[in-house]
Amino acid sequence: MVGESASSRVVLTAPLALEGGLAEEMQPPNMVQRVLSLFRNIRPGSDLSHFQLPPLFNMPKSQLQCYGEGVYCIGEDYLSRCPLGKTSRERFTSVVAWSISTTRPAIFGLAPFNPILGETHHVSRGNLNVLLEQVSHHPPISALHATDSVENIELVWCQHLVPKFYGASVDVVIHGHRQLLLKLHKEKYKMNAPNLVIRILPKTSMEWCGTVGIKCEESGLEAEVCYYRGRSLWGFRGNSRCIRGKIFQTDTEKLVYEISGHWDKTVSLKDIDSGEVRVLYDAKKAISKLETPVLRNAEGLSTTESVMVWGEVSQAIINKDWEKAREAKRKIEERERALARERKERGQVWMPKHFTISQKKEGHWECSSLDASVPQAPIFVPLPSPD
């Protein structure tokens, strides 16, 4: 743990949001030319998992923080609604809405820091306590465990990013799965995440794409939610934030609901039997003008906490002191390489502190938490004021 003197190194930045947030604070100029210059010596098809980005291309936060924000930074709380449904169908549609709420707008030309091995991120929001750990560096695997003892909710994630350069774009495939447990109802929901396409040419864009599958064996319900770019009236490239999907019974494949809309606006749900249409998800209420996390207990911070590990680099990026940012980032990378060499020389195998990790098959990893619950964190997210 660290003391008050070290808390000055802590840098907590605004979350990614539809309105306000980090995107409004970070508006880098001439980004297309800079990105093209960055990749001029990279062959198409190259894996960028361990590509060392200069700080000019980093946002002032770690990938662990970005994952965590999808859970603890929220306006209208869709997660707490999940166990409140009186029927399995009501609960399932609430889980679908919550899954959509974890989708956040990215910033073209800026990427979070690649977490170091053993890096952690621990934040609380109300009764929800969230803990993340970087459980592997080769390949880069991140684990998340979150618990809410009041709502009897538990989350376990295990995700592995694979970014590849394809000349005109960078495609980021997100392997792994997310698990949501509603304990009172003894229901377990398993789902994946959409992938991200970073288009450089002919026009820049950041697009979530692919199909998210959500399944609950206990209720016998399943969903397929497709993120895609629509077409305009004349057939040209249209809105890149479209969603369409369906909820159906697993055993009979009988269609129960249809899903349509835009993840950055509203998503509608149509009941196939009654024809009733209602708003399933409202992005403006969920992910606009989000609160920035706050440090409340410097003594409780771990030395592996993301905001400690990257604090100096983040502050230099915010100050646009690129030389200082490069030097601070270089020190972190050199220290990690030195630690890896020491472990290799001693024949030591590094083990995660909070999770177990196993490989089920090539490229597919699973993580389990070593603890039944997550304690309250030294960093918290203020709850929104009631209207």
Q: What is the pLDDT of residue 4?
A: 47
User: Quick one: pLDDT band at residue 386, thresholds 50, 70, 90?
Assistant: low
Q: What is the pLDDT of residue 240?
A: 85
Q: What is the pTM of this model?
A: 0.94
| Tens of pLDDT, residues 140-160 | 999 999 999 999 999 999 999
User: Quick one: pLDDT band at residue 232, thresholds 50, 70, 90?
Assistant: low
User: Quick one: pLDDT band at residue 229, thresholds 50, 70, 90?
Assistant: confident
Q: What is the pLDDT of residue 236?
A: 56
Residue 1 has pLDDT above 70, yes or no: no
Q: What is the pLDDT of residue 334?
A: 97
User: Quick one: pLDDT band at residue 230, thresholds 50, 70, 90?
Assistant: confident
**C-alpha span between 108 and 115 (Å, rounded):** 20
| Tens of pLDDT, residues 23-77 | 877 766 677 888 888 888 899 999 998 888 999 999 999 999 999 999 999 999 9
